[in-house]
Amino acid sequence: MPHSIRRAVAADAAQLHEVAAATFALACPPGTSQEDIDAFVRDVLSVERFESYLADSARELLVAVRHDRLVGYTMLVAGEPKDPDVASAIAARPTIELSKFYLLAGEHGAGVASALMEATLEAAGASGAAGVWLGVNQHNGRANRFYEKHGFAVVGTKRFLVGDEWHDDFTRERVFGAEGAARQWRSLQARSL
């Protein structure tokens, strides 16, 4: 049965938590302690937190569904980045963050990730954002290749706290439209001088 992609609804909170709990560790670098992963899932990806995210008008969550079960999700967060390193690295304004992009491991390579990304980028563009940014662990080769394939360029770095451990992330950005892409290219060139 093929997958479908739709906006998440309040009734999805428990399944979103289940997918998040099953997939978050996949994004962490080797050596991340299970205690830190468990703390992050408990504090940031609980059912209650997903209920809050779904009720927040600044957030949009999309889900990939197969056989009436969620197999992946994304979360967009509108607004200016709170991290000053990110705010200075990205070129597009207004911007939107691709805060979460997770897919069950059994769905990797089945085309679901690309379809979910396309739908997420469409939702980001429809929000009026000029571009999308995200943070991804520098050691997550699979995710970095995927984001590069979908037009996200490395524009900076940031730190990300998991439990008690700080991780080094790349800040990646995809700017919409030819004018935006040219602006991003000029910004990257200026930083490399």
HEC string of 111-163 equals: CHHHHHHHHHHHHHHHCCCCEEEEEEECCCHHHHHHHHHCCCEEEEEEEEEEC
pLDDT at 183 over 60: no
pLDDT reported for residue 72: 96
- How high is the pLDDT of residue 155? 96
* pLDDT digit string, tens, across residues 111-168: 899 999 999 999 999 999 999 999 999 999 999 999 999 999 999 999 877 777 788 8
pLDDT score of 131: 96
- Counting Cα atoms < 13 Å in the Cβ hemisphere of 58 gives 10
pLDDT score, position 168: 87
Dihedrals phi, psi of 5, to nearest 5 degrees: -125, 135
Look at residue 2 in the predicted model and tell me its pLDDT.
81
Contact 128, 76 (CB under 8 A): no
Residue 102 dihedral angles phi and psi, to the nearest 5° = -135, 145
Pairwise CA distance, residues 140 & 136, whole Å: 7
Which residue did the predictor score with more confidence, 124 or 192? 124
The confidence score (pLDDT) of residue 111 equals 83
Give per-residue pLDDT as tens, 66-113. Answer: 999 999 999 999 999 999 999 999 999 999 999 999 999 888 877 899
What are the pLDDT digits (tens) for 19-67? 999 998 888 877 888 898 899 899 999 999 999 999 999 999 999 999 9
User: Which range is least confidently modeled, 14-18, 152-156, 161-165, 181-185?
Assistant: 181-185
Residue 3, pLDDT > 60, answer yes
Which 3 state secondary structure label does DSSP give 104? coil
Give the chain's domains with CATH numbers: 4-192 (3.40.630.30)
Examine the pLDDT at 177 and tell me if it is beyond 70: yes
